[in-house]
Amino acid sequence: MQAAIKDKYGITARLKEGVGGIFEVFLDGQTAYTNQDTYRFPTDEEIFAKIDAARK
């Protein structure tokens, strides 16, 4: 996922260790994606769509 974000957007993603299997993506301090509702790891395309929406 980190490499895919870097390739598509030129953004270097950082891993911040958490607990309970929660996966979140923040962009400029705002939550772009969280799996707290689905409890599954997202596809690259799902993350790209959330990043695109957050950047508008």
Q: Are 27 and 55 in contact (CB under 8 A)?
A: yes
Distance from C-alpha of 32 to C-alpha of 51, rounded to nearest angstrom: 6
User: Can you name the residues that pair with 34 across neighbouring β-strands?
Assistant: 24
- State the average pLDDT for the chain: 87
Q: Are 9 and 51 in contact (CB under 8 A)?
A: yes
Q: With a threshold of 0.85, does the pTM exceed it? A: no
The pLDDT, as a whole number, for residue 15 is 76
Delimit the domains of the chain by residue range: 2-55
Distance from C-alpha of 22 to C-alpha of 7, rounded to nearest angstrom: 24
pLDDT digit string, tens, across residues 25-46: 888 888 888 888 888 889 999 9
